[in-house]
């Protein structure tokens, strides 16, 4: 689990030509978007430190440590059931909604322990917004979907402006500007997901958690969401769960690979490796990671 900036040497082709190509692709993409490889210039904004999550007696995730840096995209990948969603949802205390869920260890946001006494989960979610796997617009108009969050937070400014700018940042404005009063259900799946992103942005969070935001979408809608993530990264810190490794490789700066241990029929998720995306996909430190990514890519 090194945190060193990747050097060209490390990215040099070793296992095969395909991976070299991929590494080059990832670096080119990153250059296009950020103008360089990720470095440590960005501060750690969220620190997961030895986080364990339980559902009742069931130990779902064991001892996860991940420093998440500001204005980067951090991807969580791994096989189904390894606890990616569980960890993600513990970051904005969404797991509080599940009665049996319990978090141990420390999750700090700007140094503040999110599970400390005196922390209001409602306030946490205003800073750390979330986009879900299945688009979940409210059965309300497009406008009211966006205005929902700001309204309950007591937003005083010009709501029309806010709705417009949120939709614009989610690259949806041009498609919906003439039908803001229509039901959000009339939009396509990809549009609904961008609406959900716009809705999350409208409350101006610092961090966006995205749980497989494109898994229900077709390839073109998926690419639009990915483009959007590049844009959003200028202002937001993004953590994305994805099943799609190409997607993780394309969009993220750093990647956490989770796996699941089975003993006595109990499946406990665990973090295998967390490092820069380009390194993880070309020169992983762990054999397990390599098996997983080559299995998928090959």
Ligand X SMILES: Nc1ncnc2c1ncn2[C@@H]1O[C@H](COP(=O)(O)OP(=O)(O)OP(=O)(O)O)[C@@H](O)[C@H]1O
Is residue 240 involved in binding ligand X (CB under 6 A)?
A: no
Is residue 213 involved in binding other proteins (CB under 8 A)?
A: no
The 8-class DSSP code of residue 4 comes to S
Q: Is the separation of the CB atoms in 235 and 42 below 8 Å?
A: no
Q: Which of 27, 42, 59, 140 binds other proteins (CB under 8 A)?
A: 140
Q: At what angle do helices 159-169 and 189-202 cross, to 10 degrees?
A: 130
Q: Report the nearest approach of Mg ion to the CB of residue 252 (Å).
A: 16
Q: Which of 211, 236, 207 lies closest to 127 in space, CA to CA?
A: 207
Is residue 54 involved in binding ligand X (CB under 6 A)?
A: no
Q: Which stretch in 80-88, 133-141, 261-269, 288-296 sits in contact with other proteins by CB under 8 A?
A: 133-141
For Mg ion, the nearest residue by Cβ is: 85
The beta-carbon contacts of 221-227 under 8 Å, at least 24 apart in sequence, are 221/188, 221/189, 221/190, 221/193, 222/190, 222/247, 224/171, 224/190, 224/194, 225/190, 225/193, 225/194, 225/197, 226/250, 226/251, 227/171
By rule CB under 8 A, what string of x and - marks binding of each residue 167-196 to other proteins?
-----------------------------x
Q: Where are the alpha helices (DSSP H) in 203-252?
A: 219-232, 245-251
Task: Show contacts with other proteins in window 104-123 (CB under 8 A).
Answer: 122-123
Is residue 245 involved in binding ligand X (CB under 6 A)?
A: no
Is residue 83 involved in binding ligand X (CB under 6 A)?
A: yes
Q: Is the separation of the CB atoms in 140 and 84 below 8 Å?
A: no
Task: Show contacts with ligand X in window 98-137 (CB under 6 A).
Answer: 98, 100
Q: Scan for tokens 């959007």, then name that residue.
A: 228
Is residue 296 involved in binding ligand X (CB under 6 A)?
A: no
List contacts with other proteins (CB under 8 A).
92, 94, 97, 99, 122-123, 125-126, 129-130, 132, 134, 136-140, 148-149, 152-153, 196, 199-200, 203
User: Which residues of the chain form contacts with ligand X (CB under 6 A)?
Assistant: 55, 58, 60, 80-86, 98, 100, 243, 267, 269
């Amino acid at each position: 689990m090194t945190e060193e900036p990747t050097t060209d040497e490390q990215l040099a082709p070793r296992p095969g030509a395909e991976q070299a190509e991929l590494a080059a692709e990832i670096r080119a993409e990153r250059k296009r978007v950020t103008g360089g490889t990720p470095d440590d210039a960005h501060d750690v904004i969220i620190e997961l430190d030895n986080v364990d999550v339980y559902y009742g007696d069931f130990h779902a995730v064991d001892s996860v440590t991940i420093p998440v840096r500001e204005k980067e995209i951090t991807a969580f990948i791994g096989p189904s059931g390894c606890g990616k969603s569980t960890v993600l949802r513990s970051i904005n205390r969404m797991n509080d909604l599940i009665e049996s869920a319990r978090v141990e260890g420390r999750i700090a946001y700007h140094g503040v322990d999110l599970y400390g006494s005196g922390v209001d989960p409602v306030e946490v979610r205003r800073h750390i917004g979330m986009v879900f796997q299945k688009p979940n617009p409210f059965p309300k108009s497009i406008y009211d979907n966006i205005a929902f969050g700001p309204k309950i937070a007591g937003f005083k400014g010009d709501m029309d402006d806010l709705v417009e700018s949120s939709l614009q940042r989610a690259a949806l404005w041009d498609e919906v500007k003439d039908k803001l009063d229509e039901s959000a259900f009339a939009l396509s799946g990809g549009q609904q997901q961008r609406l959900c992103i716009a809705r999350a942005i409208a409350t101006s969070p610092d961090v966006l958690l995205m749980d497989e935001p494109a898994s229900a979408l077709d390839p073109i809608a998926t690419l639009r969401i990915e483009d959007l993530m590049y844009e959003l990264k200028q202002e937001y810190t993004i953590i994305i769960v994805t099943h799609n490794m190409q997607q993780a490789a394309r969009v993220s700066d750093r990647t956490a690979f989770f796996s699941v241990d089975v003993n006595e029929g109990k499946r406990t998720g665990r973090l295998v490796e967390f490092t820069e995306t380009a390194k993880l996909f070309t020169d992983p430190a762990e054999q397990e990671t390599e098996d997983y990514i080559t299995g998928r890519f090959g």
